[in-house]
Amino acid sequence: MKRLLTVMAALTFSLALFMPLTLARTVAPESVAQDPTPEEVAAYKAWFDANGLKDYPKAMELAKAYLDKYPTGKYAGYLKDKWIPQMRGYFFKLAADAKNVPEVIRIGKEVLAADPDNLDYLSALVVQIRSNELFATPPNYAHAAEAADFAERAIRLIEAGKIPTAADPKVFNKNVTLAYMHQTHAVIYDHDKNVDKALAEYEKAGVLEATNPAYSFHCGRIHNDKYAAAAAKYDTAQKKVDAIPDADRNAAEPKPDVKAALDESKAALAEVNSQADAVITCWARFLGLTADKKEWDIRPKILQAFTELYKFRHNNSIDGMEKLIDQNRANPSSSTSNTASAATKP
């Protein structure tokens, strides 16, 4: 299943945003009407000395201590608005480079507490949790809840027209990025066995980025599982029908229990057919999109399963199957639903 758990969407985002140009540069604070007290000067000097020695963790704690005690002090503006944001970016990048997801999240939450709509950090947090945990081998869902929260907040901002400041407006692809965020939700729902919500998120991603084979693959995979469950349910229902004497089963007005069994079997078969058609829709798109992509080594297996389902829904014929796949190769966003002219027992 090579590549199925890799990051398939190209998110135009860079951690370069988080590297300050001058880490230890100390800028003279703006003058204020009242001179600082000796205690305030001492608190500032403690930070200044630690910063000058490039002991940034200690300097960060001293900066926070200064702001807690002197929130409107002479040096507060510089530390709060310039130095601390720069250093948070620096620490964030260090944590990201070390693949230290808990630290990445801790720093990100600090930033978001002061700036809840910071799309740069929201995007970076999703990327870090996905690449280092959700899409790791084996996957790790320890911070899935945080990833879902960050992704949902990013979706709201992007849908409102905001883009990360690190992204080039000429290159940033809104739909691809939104698809990436919806895929994040889908992966988490999938893991939690909430298949209906996972399917809905994969379908949203597939609409936004119709040329990404991963979304149509997972759409078909989930519908295929639903098809298997429906087929098992139908088999059980049909066994009840088969056990009914022919005279009772074919009566003009079947007895209530017989009618209930017949209705159950009919409804189960309808669900089998519906899920089979859904698999065909999704996997025709997948097969069309991956026709020339050798890296999708699962494609032969999908083609085999797809062919059997297609034959099941088309009286054991493959007429029109290749045409359906080719149509998706040229136009993956088009509807590929193909209802069978007749169906048989699975």
Is residue 193 domain-shared with residue 176, that is, in the same domain?
yes
Residue 49 maps to a domain:
yes
Are residue 35 and residue 176 in the same domain, yes or no? yes
Rounded to whole angstroms, the Cα distance separating 56 from 84 reads: 10
Cα–Cα distance measured from residue 266 to residue 264, given in angstroms and rounded to the nearest whole number: 5
User: 340 in a domain, yes or no?
Assistant: no
Q: Inform me whether the pLDDT recorded for 9 exceeds 70.
A: no
How much of the chain exceeds pLDDT 90, in percent?
Answer: 82
Check whether residue 184 and residue 271 sit in a common domain: no
pLDDT in tens, 298-309: 999 999 999 999
| Measured CA angle at 43 (ends 40, 46), to 5 deg | 150
If asked whether residues 162 and 69 sit together in one domain, one would say: yes
Domain shared by 168 and 217, yes or no: no
pLDDT band at 45 (very low <50, low <70, confident <90, very high): very high
Containing domain of residue 318, as a range?
213-330
Q: Quote the pTM value.
A: 0.85
| Band of pLDDT at residue 84, cut at 50, 70 and 90 | very high
Q: What's the average model confidence in pLDDT over 6-30?
A: 47
Residues 174 and 27 in one domain: yes
Instruction: Give the pLDDT confidence of 182-196 residue by residue, as tens digits.
Output: 999 999 999 999 999
* Angle in degrees, 0-180, between the axes of helices 119-129 and 144-159, rounded to the nearest 10: 140
Q: Is the pLDDT of residue 57 over 50?
A: yes
Domain count, the chain: 2
Own/partner contacts of 165-169, CB < 8 Å, gap of 24 or more, are 165/17, 165/119, 165/120, 166/13, 166/14, 166/16, 166/17, 166/120, 167/12, 167/13, 168/12
Query: What does the DSSP 8-state code read for residue 342?
Result: B
Q: For all residues of the chain together, what is the average pLDDT?
A: 89
Q: Are residues 44 and 178 in the same domain?
A: yes
Q: Domain holding 29: CATH number?
A: 1.25.40.10
Contact 227, 275 (CB under 8 A): yes
Domain shared by 194 and 136, yes or no: yes
Report residue 17's pLDDT band, with 50, 70 and 90 as the boundaries: low
State the distance between the two ends of the chain, measured CA to CA, in whole angstroms.
27
Distance separating alpha carbons of residues 122 and 85, to the nearest angstrom: 15
- Arithmetic mean of pLDDT, 135-149: 98
Phi, psi of 289 (to 5 degrees): -70, -25
**Do 198 and 222 fall into the same domain?**
no
Q: Is the pLDDT of residue 4 over 90?
A: no
96-103 average pLDDT score: 97
156 and 42 both lie in a single domain = yes
